[in-house]
Each structure stands twice: as structure tokens, then as C-alpha cells.
Structure 1
Amino acid sequence: MTHSQQVAPGAVRAAIVTWGFLVAIQLTVAPASAFTGHALGLQGSGHVEIDDSPLLHGSDGLTLSAWFRVDQLRGWQALMWKGDMPDRHPWYNREFGLFIEESGYVHLCSTPVSRQRRGQLYVNTPGGTIRPGQWFHVTAVVSSDAKGGVMRIYVNGELSASRPYDRSGLKNSTGPLWLGGIPQTGAGFHGMIDDVKIWRRALAGEEVRQQMHGQMTTTSGLMAHYTFDQVDLQGDLVDQSGHRHRGHLVGDAHLRTLQVAVPPVATVAFPVATPLAYGGVPATTTTTTTTMRADESTTTTTTTSPTTPVVPVVSAPLYATVPLVSIPIATVPQVTMPQATVRVEPIKQEPESIAWIDADGAYLLLKALRNDDSGTRRRAADAFDRLSPEVESQVLSVALRSDDAIVRRRAASALEGVDPDNFRSLAELALASDDVLVRREAADALDRRSYAVGSGGAIDIAKPLLSASTASTFRPQRYSGWAQKWSAQRPDVWDDPPEGLLAKYNRVDGVGLGWRLPQRYDNYQGLAHFGELMYGFDSEQWRYQVGGEVFTFYGPPHHGAHLAAFGIEAHDLTDTQDGWLLSEEENSLAAALLRRDYYDHFRRVGGSLYSAHNIGGVLQVTGRYARDDFESLEQISEWSLFGDRWGEASFAANPQIDEGIIASLRLDVQLDTRDETSSPNRGWLINGLAERSGGFLEGDHTFKRYLIDLRRYQPVGRGSRFDLRLRGATAKGRMPSQYRYRIGGLGSVRGYDDKAFAGDRVALLNAQYWLDMDQHWGSGLPVDGVGLGVFFDAGAVWSAQNLSDPFEGFEQLTSEGDFKRSVGLSLGSSDGSVRFDFARPLDKGPDGQEDGWRMLARISRTF
């Protein structure tokens, strides 16, 4: 159940129900905010058996992890075990074992190579660590190498126990891997197990926490992974790691379907069965037990109304199962699906009644919070104010650490209503967050609950309440389309760039090394300074930027903080107008490896005054006056690591520019609703620019220019996304050559020569459909982490005859031959950040010839 499935409110669900030879289709409506998932259910006399494989052995490192809920503490209960039979004292046949003991501790054991006749080594967590009826995450790590070894147990991401281990390596056994029990010896598990992972390496502490929270970006060393969401046609569990270690269900082992539905607060129509608790509505829990075999499939559904509040699950009529496997119609097995109808009666209760969420519901919410889909995560966050006191700390502590800014902030806004016993630890966690809005919400909750803040108060803050935020919404100047990140156009006002060493490589400076000091906001208002210094070893020139600003936060924090800043900066920079095509990091890599510099560089010396506003982290407006002296730069660098073999014979000459002083007034506006900044899956990004130069501002060039860049990221199904970019720009008067618009090739209209078309008017369209094959088809593919895309590019650029009319030519773009078009395929990583683009132009190039297919290698998205 790694990814809890979200059922859209009001969605119609269909299920095939059979009684003997009678087949019927049952249509039902899903309850509001429903989440479903599957886990391995065990009742003490069953287990999962996985055949031995060389990939399941880790001679110098091993990591075991799982989520579990034990129904009762009784004797020894096995989570995972691998060894040879017989398994008896002194336990020297065990490769590894992970158990829950009746005193409530976790027991990890393993036999080193040097102790194969003397017995295992083991470590235990403190007694009482595990409590029945609650979900826990456990990670067991064993490492052994020439420097020594160690055994560690992490519970809910925190180190709970450790001890030294032998340096001779782990014993390799030929017996199967068992989950939930050991045949012939007992140790049967009573409860549920989910999300089992086996790594053939020892995870570090931070990796343990990342994989628990679903934030781990690598699957290196992952040898087996069971989510219990899929079985094959033989009824065996599918190994999501792709290594095909099938799991066989034995005895009473079965797949349990859990489902929670959290209704809106104002809803009062629920089953009535028990007295109200916590001042809320009693809930109903539905558990579907599905037993899958090659020759039978039985499903039974039970609906219970316990004496303690649990998660409301379904409203009548009840749909009983989520299909686990597709079976041809001709071979549909008989399915026994008793119908369960729940009587719905109005509750004589206040309209603000709350349905409290218990341990099982909290577990499904935790799964939803780790879902790749931002909509699923945020619907789960809607339930934060309905958590029962027993699960508040577990769920909110995970949410406060989420990579999703919306989830973090909703968790922080729920602090005011949490149980007093949980408030202190959660408030301290929120105050230590890197997200400024989370800290402000925590501070407000402290004030409203009359807690003191500070060294002399009840709670000490770990960080200033306001400092530079790492939240993705605080970035008013991601103007990669027309301004370099670190330039006189203003560094990222609300970004928190890393402090430290800078490095780049290009054809005009060669290797550049330097140091960056980012601006930081350490209070509600004050003075922030920033700067960078870099030296080009081929140009033998220093480049710098230095500045400061006065800033203040304003506005109610629970409505979204606003930030206003007024600043001044001076600079001497190697700059470009090509940042919208690719990042400086990718350009430096292409230049260093293949002798391909996609940037046209020039020197810009001067300074600027600016005023910037961030409104709620979504709308950002920046106005500035700038005065710059532009100079041409010569191509002087020649070195490349692989250029002589796979790249270019030499760098292309750096183009000359129109030199002189440009004094201008400029307005930048950005609207950003994307869920992520580096790899967005949903949302809008709209940038607009208007600039006036010359006239009463003086300077050597007089012109006006306007640019708009609109991007939409739209999910269209499981693991699939449609991306669209529309870009248009024009000018009034004669723009200097460095500001002219250029398209063609990488980053614009793929398949043509780079920047083959130029002018003072441009219209560009990029459309792409991207498919994450793992998410769309599951992990049964031969390779993991692969994405596939198709794209269409079209662009037109021209120079106007009447320079006084900025709209000349746009109304005639529909005529044939105006646009240069291309189509292509992309193959790369699952999110498309690393990929190969194969593009074919559909029109003739500047030389009048039609070219064939071209390949581009990229390490970032096109847009």
C-alpha cells in the first residue's frame, strides 16, 4: 500500500458480482475524501514465502524495513526471517530475523560468517516500544566490513537501539525468505504488515528517514519491495522492485483492503451505533479481506461500529472490493460478495460535529501524504483537524516535514486545535522548520494558547521566526526566460541560494571559481545583504555583484505572508539573454564536456535600484531602474574533455553586441501556482516583462520591449502529464542586437540549428505529453525509472518594417511558411529531468534544406 489510492468524491464505481451462474454489475458512489489501500493480513497461522535468490543476500550490508500493526502482543511474532532449517538454539542457521516480542520490543538478529557454529548476534529496542493497535515503521540495518560492523534498529525513523557487529560479513543461507511467520516453529504474526523493503546495502540514518517519509530519490540496492497492491495471475505478490521475487501466500495469509472516508465537517448523516466520543460523530470502519489463489478468489466484507471512535469508511450502498488482478471474462472465478447495507440516519448533533480518525485511518493518511500526486496529498491534509489525540503527533510530525509546502502549512495551521499533551513537541518541530510560514503559524498558535516563546519561556525556538524560506512559493524572480539568476536583473529575492563555492565554465571566461553570499531575512523587518565574487582563469578578470535591501513582512500569516523589499546593487558581470533555453549548470557541463556553449555572452557593468513585492507567495511584482554599460566579449577558451572525439572541433565565436549604455525602467510580474519548482506536475507559471530604455532616461539606446511567457502543467491520468508553453515578445524602436529574439534548436524549436532564426518579434508554442511508465503501468517493466514523451514545437520570428508598431506582423501569422515546426520523441528518467530528445523538423531550415532526425541529450526539462 505504498501509494494510497484516492477515490474522487462522488465517483461512480463498478464491480462484477456473481451468484453461481448469475452475473450482475453493481454501481456505487464513492464517499467524500475516500482513501483505499491494501496490506498483508495475518492471524497467526500463515505467512508469505519468497524463494531464495542471490539478490536477497547482502554480504557486507543489509537493510530491512516495513510498516506493521500488531493486534496483540503474544510470544514471539516474526516480521521477516531468512535462514536454513532447522531453526533452533543456538540459532546459527539464521541469516537474519526481525521479530516483535510480547514485552513490546523489536528484536533484530543475524549470524556473521565467523559465528556460523556459535550462533547469532542480536539487539533489542527498549520494552514497550511497540503497542498493539497502532501502526509503526521499523527499519533494521546490519553492516559488516573490514573496518567493523554495527546493527541498528530505527522505529518511526528514529534510532532506537544499536550494537557492534562482526566484520566477517553476513552468513548466506539457501532457505526462503518468510514474512509474518516461520514454518514449523511458530512465531506467527497477528495483525497487518505493509510496504516491505529489502536493501542489499546499509542505509544511513538520513536515508532511513527519507524512505520512511517517501522522500528517497534513489532505489540503488533495493532488491525486493512488496506493497501488497498487486498479485499476478497465479495469485502471487508482485515484487515492485522489478527483480521478480514473487511472494506466495500460505495458510491464512490474505490481502486486506482498508478504506477511510473523511466527510466534510458540516456533514451530519452517518451510521449511528455508539455513544459520541471526543464530542464528535462515531465512525464506521470497513475491512475487506481478499484471499487470492490461482483457483479461487473470495471476498468478505465486515462493517463494525466499535465502542471507540474509528474512521468512517462508507455510506450505503457499500462497494466491497478493489480489484487486485485483471482476469479474462472467460475465466472469471466465482466471487462471493455478501452485500452490506448501512442504515443512514440524521444525527441529532451540532452541525460542527467531527468524525475522528483512528490508527488505521491515520496510517492511510500517512500513505496519502507520501503519494506522488499533490492533489492526493492535499486532500489528506484536509483531514488534519479530525485526527484523534492518539494519532495527532504521528501524522502531523510527518506532515510538518513534508516536501509539499501546502501540506506543511496546513499541518501548522492545525496546531491550535491539537491535544495539549501533543502540542509542545509539535510546536517545537514547527518552530524549527525552514518554512517561514510554518514558523509564523506555530508562533500564532503559541500566542493563542498563551505559551511563552524564548529562552525564558516554555518553548525555545530553534530558528528565528522569520528567515529566508526554502519554500518553493517564495521565489519572485525565476525569470530564466530573460534574466540570468545572478545578475543586475536582481538575484532571486525570496530564494535561499546556497552559500559557498561557485563554479562555471564558458567560452569567454574559461573556468570560473568564486564565492556567493545569499541574502537572508532574519526578522520581521530589517536589512539584508548579498553578493558574489568570481574569477575567470582564461579571461583573467574578476566578476562581482554586491547589494543590500531593506525588507519587511506584512499581512496576516494565516492568509499567507507578504514581503516587501527595497534594494540597491552594483555589479560587473558576464551576462546572457539565453537563460530561458537551459540553466547555467547545464550550459557549463556542455561546454566542458563537448565544447558546446549555448550562451551568447556579454559584459554588463553598472547598478540598479529596485522595489520588490511577494504577495502570498504566489504573485510577485518587481520594478527597477537600471543603468548598465554593455561590452562585447571575445571567445578565448578552447579546452574540452571530450570535444575532440564527440563534440565540436572548436568553440563557435562569441557574437558581437551593440555596445554602449542602456538606462531603463523595467517591470516584472510573475504568477506561480506550481506544486513543485524543479519538476512541476500541476499548476500555472506566468511571467511578464515590460521595459523602457532611453528618452528622458538618456543612454545610447532608445527602445521598448515586452515579453510574456505562459506555462501550464496538467496531469491527465495516472503517471501522465500534458505540458504547454506559449511565449510571445515584441518591441518598439530598434533593440540592441543582444536583446533580439532567437529561436531554433535546444530549448525552443528542436530539430533546427541552434538560434537559427532571429528578429524583433517572436511567437513560440511548445506542447509535450509525458508518461511516467512506472506510475502508469506499475513496476513489472524490465527497467525502472523510465519516462516516455512526445512533443510538438512551433515558432515564428521576424523583423518588423514599422518599428513604431509593436503589434506589426502578429495578425498575419496564420499564413503558410511563417512558423517553423517540429515533432519528436523523448526517452529519459521518470520525471523527464534527464532524457534524450529525438526531433525532426517539418519545415525547411535557413539554408532551404529539409533536415532529418536530430538527437539532443538534456539534464533538465525544456520548460
Structure 2
Amino acid sequence: MQKYLFSLLISTLLLLPLNLLSQENSDTLQVEEDSYYEFLFDDFEYDFFSDPLDEIYPFVRDPISNLNSISQTFNHTFTIAKDDTISGNIIVKKGDLFVEGTLLGDALVLKGDVNVGRNGKITGDVTTLRGEVIRRGRIGGTVEEKNKRKVKKRKYEDDYESEYFYTPQNWKTSSNLRDDLIINYNRVERFELGFAKNKKLNLYNIKPLSSHWMFSYSTGLHKWEGEIGISRNILLQNSILQLTAKYHSLVDTDDEWIISDADNSFSALFSKDDYFDYFEKKGGSVGLEYHYSQNDIRFFLSSAYHKNNYSSLNRTSDWALFGKNEFRENPAVAEGLIPSVTFNAGFSTTGSNNIQATGWNFHLSYEKGGIGNEKLYSFERTIFDVRRYQSLSKYDKLNFRIRYGILNGDQIQQRKLFLGGYNSLPAYSYKEFDGNRMLLINSEYHIKGSLIDMIFPWINNLNLILLADAGEIKNYAGTTLDPTKSFFKSLSFKTIKSDVGFGLSWKDNDGRLSCLWRTDKQSEGSIALQLTYPF
């Protein structure tokens, strides 16, 4: 335990200067001083994340009607109300811009801030001079915050466009590829290096035909892998209908709901903890997707036919910066050609995935494998995933996830249900339990550092998180008349596995350190360092 803590501390100290250097190089660009910035500025100190807009500027909440032009300039604070849509660019001088509706264009604010509310949308770029951009809603282009000496640039394009290609956070599959540069490390591929163009749709810039692709090279397997897809996009009212086709030959995993690529690469590289199990997948699919979005409501349906050939992969790496133990062996999978059909449905009321989001996320996935004449394996798997993000006050928030899984037929390795370990039941061993009926509940109570700061001033930038998890998994034979009914009848406090603990995270929830203990017996705590939010 002490050795593990020491390794964790050393790795964090090593990464800190690199992270600071990277942030300075990427987010801060030196610019020349010229007359463009030579005017007087007033200082603004608003807590937009804590105070409702009505309390800050109650006199600018009146809606605007019939404003539709190429460019408009305002010499005062300006508001786009919730039900308003403005086409064209907006310039605001010596005032703030509040966006609760939709701006189909760019925004430039001189001597003021830009606040995009939960219902707000800006499809273009946002630039402030000696001001801030506070974002709860969606921004489609580049964000620049300029002062007399520096320019900070950020891109929110991915978050905005994903509004219309709705795949909830951490409910991704191999088709939802990472953007641009791919750098991953794991025990099978070693370093995976490549490039990708993600699958995106933007309702205000829809193309009839679009493509997505990824190509990467595995230094451990010494081979190329990739995927290419084509989509025919049909624009409907507040929605998009999409016909898709793709072909791939890649290393895949069924465990991406557990952990992100970034977290897994970090764990594998620094502590020899690789939480993915891998297999090779070659084949393709054709499908139909429907995406709907209006205000905070997002909804999607998809159905597809897949034909993939699966192969097992061996571990190729046993190196990490720290950790004396070997990597886990990569388990063998059911090999051969497995045709299948899938159905997915999702519904969200959160409007976004940022730390301030409040609402519901629901996802249903169904897969039937071994269809037609090729019945090498036959199975049906259904996953229900429900999440709630609930703000209790401006200081605290309660989040929880309920995940229920059903597997009927052949229990092939790449479709098995597991419990235990990272982001499941963290105090237990990784994938300690398996079966064909699974229930998992994760809950988190977040307390903002600004509340604790009233007692301990040094903790303002940290959030305290209280954690509790519970789950059960069982295996029923095919002779059981009603496995689902039997599973829920058998649930009791004596049989359910659970753990409790606490964690600390940065105020934006990017990065956390947590420790959890089992409740059924005395045990050492399980420590986890995470770069991204778990669910």
C-alpha cells in the first residue's frame, strides 16, 4: 500500500510540470500590443455559476423580436432571450452579452463578458476583449479571450456538434472515434499512434454526405488498423435522419463504459493497470440513425446490421514506468464470424455534459448475435443505463447511475457481464464477478470547495466527493424459468456487494483522487486517480 502511494505521488509530481508547460504552450499565445486594445476597461466580478441571470441583470431579460441582419452593434449590455433566434453577427461594446436563445453567427464583445446559458447556442466564433466567456450552453466555433497581453484560445466545436449526434458520455462504441491525434498505450497494442476524423453532425451546417475515418499503427502488434465510414444525412425539423455504412479492421474492446481511453492509457503507462480487454474485429455494418434535439431535450434511435470476424489477441507489453507486477493476460474471445443486429435508444434532458448539467440521461442497447444461417454463436444482450445529475444548491450536487444487464444464450467472452474494480465496484478486484444478470448502482455527493472554503480557505479549488457503490451479479442456467424475476427476488443486503469512500477533485471535475473501502469486511482502501469524470 505504501509503495503504491509512493509511486502515485512520484508520477503526479512528474506530470505536473509537463501539464503546466503544455497548458502554457497550447492555451496562451503572445500577441503584439496595438491600438486595438488601447481603451479603458472596468473590472467585473460576477459569480455566474452560482447566481441566476435574473439576479445579476434583471433589466436585460426582455425578449428581442424581428432582429434578423448580417451584423448588429450594441453599446450596452444585450440579451438574446430563451425563445429568440438571431441570424447574423453581434458586436457588443462596453457591456455584456447574455445568450439564452440562439445566435446563428459570431459574437464579439468589447469591455464585457459573454454568458451562454443552459438553453443558449452560438453557432459561430466567440471573442471577448478584456472579458470572460462563461459557458453552460453550446458554442459551435472557436472561443478567444483577449486582454492587453495575452490571447486564450479554446475550441468548443466538438461539444456543440455532438448535440445533434447524441451519444451520451462514456456510452461510446468503436464508431465514435477520437478526434485528430491518437496516442494510446496498453498491454496489447503498446503504443497506438494515428489520426482520426470523428463522426459529427451540425444542424446549422449539415452536409448531405459526410465521412469519418481513423488510421493508427500498433507498435506491439506491428500492424495498421483503421475504420472508414460514409453517411447520407437528411435534414428534418429539429432532427437528422442518417444512413450509414462502414468498414473496419481494428483492435476493439467492450469495456469503454468503464474507463476512458485517456485514463486507461495513464494507468497502463504509470502503474501497469490496463482495464480494457481486447480483441481484433474485422468487418462492417450498415444502419439507420435518427437524432432529435430541441432546447435541452435530446433523443436518438439507431438500428444496424453487423458482420464481424473476431480474433483473440495476446499481451505484447510488460513495461510501465512504475509497478513490479506483470500486466494481466488478455483473455481469449469467441473467434469466428458473428453476424448480429443492434438497436440503441437514448434520451437526455441535461443539455450538456459539463459540471453544471442537471437532468436525466437514459440509454438502452440491445444486440442479437448469431442470426441467419451463420449461427456459430447465438446470444442476446440488453443493457439499461439511467443517470441523474441533480443540483441541490449552488454548493452541492447529487449524481447517480443505475446499470442493469441481461445476457441470454452463449456467454461469449466479448459480451459477458462483469462487476468489480475501476468505476464499477472500485474496492473489489477488477472483474471479480461475472454472470448473465447484473445490477450496478453508483452514487456521488459533490460539495464545492467554495463552501468548504468558509472554514478552510486553502481548499477553494477542490471539491469534496462522498462515494457509495452497490451491485449484484448472478449466473442462471438455461433451465431457469424466469431468470430476471429470480434475480430481483434474491436481492438482499446480505448478498449485495458494496463499498464507500471519498474523493477530491478539481473544481471543474477534471481529475480526481479517490479512496474506497469494502463494507462486508475489513480491507485496505482502493485508491484511484482519474483524469475524466467516471459517468
Show the counterpart of 1:770: 446
Partner of 2:229, secondary structure, is strand
Show the counterpart of 2:226: 544
User: Identity of counterpart residues, as a percentage?
Assistant: 22
Taking a change above 3 Å as real, the CA distance of residues 390 and 811 of structure 1, as seen in their structure-2 partners, is closer
Taking a change above 3 Å as real, the CA distance of residues 398 and 807 of structure 1, as seen in their structure-2 partners, is closer
Alignment check: 8 A CA contact 1:405 1:471 kept? no
Show the counterpart of 2:70: none
- For residues 529 and 621 of structure 1, what CA distance do their matches in structure 2 show? 20
Equivalent positions of 1:195-344 (< 5 A) are 195=44, 260=58
Partner of 1:548, secondary structure, is strand
Give a deviation string over 1:457-495, Cα, whole Å, max 9, x none: xxxxxxxxxx988345223234734x53xx2xx337xxx
Taking a change above 3 Å as real, the CA distance of residues 810 and 705 of structure 1, as seen in their structure-2 partners, is same
Show the counterpart of 2:38: 161
Query: Displacement, 1:568?
Result: 0.8
Alignment check: 8 A CA contact 2:139 2:160 kept? yes
The RMSD of aligned alpha carbons is 3.9
Partner of 1:589, secondary structure, is helix
Give a deviation string over 1:748-768, Cα, whole Å, max 9, x none: 112111111111110011111
- For residues 392 and 554 of structure 1, what CA distance do their matches in structure 2 show? 37
Taking a change above 3 Å as real, the CA distance of residues 383 and 728 of structure 1, as seen in their structure-2 partners, is closer
The structure having more radius of gyration, on CA atoms, is 1
Structure 2: segments with no counterpart, 5+ residues = 1-29, 66-73, 108-113, 124-137, 142-156
- For residues 96 and 374 of structure 2, what CA distance do their matches in structure 1 show? 60
- For residues 778 and 152 of structure 1, what CA distance do their matches in structure 2 show? 42
Partner of 1:749, secondary structure, is coil
Q: Does 1:719 align with 2:395?
A: yes
- For residues 740 and 780 of structure 1, what CA distance do their matches in structure 2 show? 46
Give a deviation string over 1:711-761, Cα, whole Å, max 9, x none: 000000122110011110112212312211111121011211111111111
Show the counterpart of 1:785: 461
Aligned with 2:242 (options 550, 565, 572): 565
Give a deviation string over 1:86-121, Cα, whole Å, max 9, x none: xxxxxxxxxxxxxxxxxxxxxxxxxxxxxxxxxxxx
**Greater CA deviation, 722-731 or 392-401?**
392-401
- For residues 770 and 193 of structure 1, what CA distance do their matches in structure 2 show? 34
Which has the larger share of strand? 2
Query: Displacement, 1:778?
Result: 6.1
Aligned with 1:475 (options 156, 162, 165): 165
Equivalent positions of 1:388-787 (< 5 A) are 395-396=96-97, 400=103, 404=116, 406-409=118-121, 435=140, 470-478=160-168, 480-481=170-171, 483-484=172-173, 487=174, 490-491=175-176, 498=179, 500-519=180-199, 524-555=206-237, 561-616=238-293, 618-641=298-321, 643=322, 647-696=323-372, 698-774=374-450, 777=453, 781-787=457-463
Give a deviation string over 1:53-103, Cα, whole Å, max 9, x none: xxxxxxxxxxxxxxxxxxxxxxxxxxxxxxxxxxxxxxxxxxxxxxxxxxx
Q: Could you state the TM-score of these two structures normalised by the residue count of structure 1?
A: 0.47
Partner of 1:782, secondary structure, is helix
The aligned amino acid for 2:334 is D
- For residues 233 and 272 of structure 2, what CA distance do their matches in structure 1 show? 43
The aligned amino acid for 2:193 is L
Partner of 1:735, secondary structure, is coil
The aligned amino acid for 2:528 is L
Query: Displacement, 1:566?
Result: 0.4
Partner of 1:476, secondary structure, is coil
**Greater CA deviation, 524-533 or 733-742?**
524-533
Alignment check: 8 A CA contact 2:99 2:116 kept? no
Taking a change above 3 Å as real, the CA distance of residues 434 and 783 of structure 1, as seen in their structure-2 partners, is closer
The aligned amino acid for 1:673 is T
Partner of 1:587, secondary structure, is helix
Q: Does 1:839 align with 2:516?
A: yes
Query: Displacement, 1:649?
Result: 2.4
The aligned amino acid for 2:497 is K
- For residues 258 and 316 of structure 2, what CA distance do their matches in structure 1 show? 23
Give a deviation string over 1:557-592, Cα, whole Å, max 9, x none: xxxx21111011111111111111110111011111
Query: Displacement, 1:623?
Result: 0.6
Give a deviation string over 1:490-521, Cα, whole Å, max 9, x none: 337xxxx63x3211111111111112133466
Give a deviation string over 1:7-42, Cα, whole Å, max 9, x none: xxxxxxxxxxxxxxxxxxxxxxxxxxxxxxxxxxxx
Query: Displacement, 1:434?
Result: 6.2
- For residues 650 and 786 of structure 1, what CA distance do their matches in structure 2 show? 34
Partner of 1:564, secondary structure, is strand
Structure 1: segments with no counterpart, 5+ residues = 1-142, 144-148, 154-158, 163-188, 197-211, 216-226, 230-256, 266-277, 280-357, 366-379, 413-432, 437-466, 556-560, 845-849
- For residues 32 and 48 of structure 2, what CA distance do their matches in structure 1 show? 25
Q: Does 1:860 align with 2:532?
A: yes
Alignment check: 8 A CA contact 2:161 2:200 kept? no
- For residues 259 and 468 of structure 1, what CA distance do their matches in structure 2 show? 30
Alignment check: 8 A CA contact 2:264 2:276 kept? yes
Alignment check: 8 A CA contact 1:690 1:706 kept? yes
Query: Displacement, 1:262?
Result: 6.9
- For residues 99 and 181 of structure 2, what CA distance do their matches in structure 1 show? 33
Show the counterpart of 2:23: none
Alignment check: 8 A CA contact 1:795 1:819 kept? yes
Show the counterpart of 1:814: 491
- For residues 707 and 837 of structure 1, what CA distance do their matches in structure 2 show? 27
Show the counterpart of 1:106: none
Alignment check: 8 A CA contact 1:733 1:803 kept? no
Alignment check: 8 A CA contact 2:164 2:240 kept? no
The aligned amino acid for 2:224 is W
